[in-house]
Amino acid sequence: MKKIIITGGAGFIGSHVVRRFVNTYPGYQIINLDNLTYAGNLANLRDIETQPNYRFVKGDITDAPFIDSLFASEQPDAIIHLAAESHVDRSISDPIDFVLTNVVGTVVLLNAARNYWQGAYDTHRFYHVSTDEVYGALGDTGMFTEDTKYDPHSPYSASKASSDHFVRAYHDTYGIDTVISNCSNNYGSHHFPEKLIPLAINNIKNNKPVPVYGKGENVRDWLWVEDHARAIDVIFHRAAAGETYNIGGHNEWKNIDLIGLLCSIMDRKLGRPAGESAQLITFVKDRAGHDLRYAIDATKLKRELGWKPSLQFEEGLEKTVDWYLANEEWLQDVTSGHYQQYYEEQYASR
Ligand code: NAD
Ligand code: TYD
């Protein structure tokens, strides 16, 4: 595999995947295709942007003529597809963008692959990065395996489920070499502060209320983003065509416990008396259709490809807090302007 288009490479997970591939495989050409929505930020890639094997192309994955001409001119060997609208709360207030980018955008890419790789599917690969949220919600027990029935509840997870179905349909119908991975919640550096962990870090730092939905009893399975990028690397290179792998951290946390841990780390880092940041915790109106619990069984990935998470959560959370405290300018840039309006709209009525 020599030339790879990574979509959504300016976003949170995409930037870690781009960095990993650019640094690990100097013989590959990595093209970062991203439309730079509110979530896309080229500052996420400052450290690798001058590497000779990296290029950025600004473009919209829903723009079929543009995607077709990109495939014709670049003739990529593979796609690693991460571009998406990714935030559940935004999908509840504005579902259409999720259908356009996540469903239509994915099909536009699949169709370009179908047209330009025709007859040579065994030497090309379409890797689709998806989420565990397609499986719906768990009760107090059980875990999602690759065989769990799809049961999405939010417009976000419904759009991702739909895109997964299209990827499988293109494999089954046209023979395209596709691979899908479904990962649990990620955390780490460069995470846009609309999501729970970076939002809480930002608010604690600024002495603002930390909004916890409902009673804070929802459970998420958290994985360090660099472990996700490493899993994508392993699966991209070693999975058989048509395969699916679940990726997860074996690391379940109730939201309220996670925020409690984060508050105690922040107290220590900011030199505050123990318990001070926890006073910012504010229970607010629950998210509509809020999935109770996600938990990934990643046994298949460990057994077949040898991947397992590298980092304990407490250590990863410390590293994450350190990164946000050391990157004040990044945080200020992404929380100025439109972010303020978003925040008002999402949280004023809660
Ligand atoms: P993100 O919102 O941080 O980044 C998405 C990127 O896609 C941005 O750079 C944005 O500019 C780009 N983009 C959006 N619409 C586009 C379009 N029409 N054309 C081109 N580029 C466009 O998302 P993320 O959290 O990094 O998630 C990346 C992928 O991983 C998504 O597919 C998501 O569903 C999946 N995923 C995320 C998580 C998580 O915890 N964040 C977990 C599992 C899977
Ligand atoms: P989020 O980071 O949005 O990820 P996802 O919804 O994809 O799991 O939310 C993680 C959990 O935190 C989820 O149960 C919703 C909850 N949450 C809050 O309690 N408060 C917040 O302000 C946000 C953004 C999320």
Instruction: Tell me the pLDDT tens digit for each residue of 146-167.
Output: 999 999 999 999 999 999 999 9
Can you tell me the distance from the alpha carbon of 333 to that of 346, in angstroms, rounded to the nearest whole number? 20
Instruction: Assign residue 39 a region (left: φ > 0; alpha: ψ between -120 and 50; beta: otherwise).
Output: alpha
133 is catalytic: yes
User: What pLDDT score was predicted for residue 287?
Assistant: 97
- Convert the pLDDT of each residue in 222-275 to its tens digit: 999 999 999 999 999 999 999 999 999 999 999 999 999 999 999 999 999 999
Q: What is the value of pTM for the model shown?
A: 0.98
User: What pLDDT score was predicted for residue 88?
Assistant: 98
Q: Does the CB atom of residue 83 touch ligand 2 within 6 A?
A: no
Q: Does the CB atom of residue 248 touch ligand 1 within 6 A?
A: no
Phi and psi dihedrals of 39, rounded to 5? -90, -10
Q: Which of 78, 91, 189 is nearest to 131 (CA)?
A: 91
- Convert the pLDDT of each residue in 168-217 to its tens digit: 999 999 999 999 999 999 999 999 999 999 999 999 999 999 999 999 99
Beta carbons of 84 and 101 less than 8 angstroms apart: yes
DSSP-derived secondary structure letter, 49:
T
Distance (Å) of CA 146 to CA 80, 135, 247: 20, 9, 10
Distance 175 CA to ligand 2 centre (A): 37
Going by pLDDT thresholds of 50, 70 and 90, the confidence category of residue 119 is confident
CB atoms within 10 A of CB 91: 22
Ligand nearest to the Cα of 296, by number: 1
Q: Does the CB atom of residue 82 touch ligand 1 within 6 A?
A: yes
Can you tell me the distance from the alpha carbon of 209 to that of 163, in angstroms, rounded to the nearest whole number? 36
Can you tell me the distance from the alpha carbon of 111 to that of 116, in angstroms, rounded to the nearest whole number? 9
Distance 45 CA to ligand 1 centre (A): 15
By most ligand atoms within 8 Å of CB, the mutation choice from 215, 220, 344 for ligand 2 is: 220
The one catalytic residue among 34, 133, 164, 243: 133
Q: Which atom of ligand 2 is nearest to the CA of 214?
A: 19
Distance 279 CA to ligand 1 centre (A): 32
Percentage of the chain lying above the pLDDT 70 cut: 100
CB atoms within 10 A of CB 23: 14
Q: Does the CB atom of residue 11 touch ligand 1 within 6 A?
A: yes
The one catalytic residue among 60, 132, 146, 227: 132
132 is catalytic: yes
Retrieve residue 340's tokens.
Answer: 């303020």
Q: Does the CB atom of residue 192 touch ligand 1 within 6 A?
A: yes
User: What is the average per-residue pLDDT within 117-141?
Assistant: 94
Can you tell me the distance from the alpha carbon of 61 to that of 126, in angstroms, rounded to the nearest whole number? 14
Distance 77 CA to ligand 2 centre (A): 36
User: What pLDDT score was predicted for residue 1?
Assistant: 60
- Convert the pLDDT of each residue in 300-321 to its tens digit: 999 999 999 999 999 999 999 9
Write down the mean pLDDT value for the chain.
97
Distance 239 CA to ligand 2 centre (A): 31
Domains and CATH numbers, the chain: 3-187+223-247 (3.40.50.720), 196-219+252-292+312-346 (3.90.25.10)
User: What is the average per-residue pLDDT within 27-51?
Assistant: 97
User: Measuring from atom 10 of ligand 2, which residue has the nearest CA?
Assistant: 196
- Convert the pLDDT of each residue in 335-344 to its tens digit: 998 899 999 9
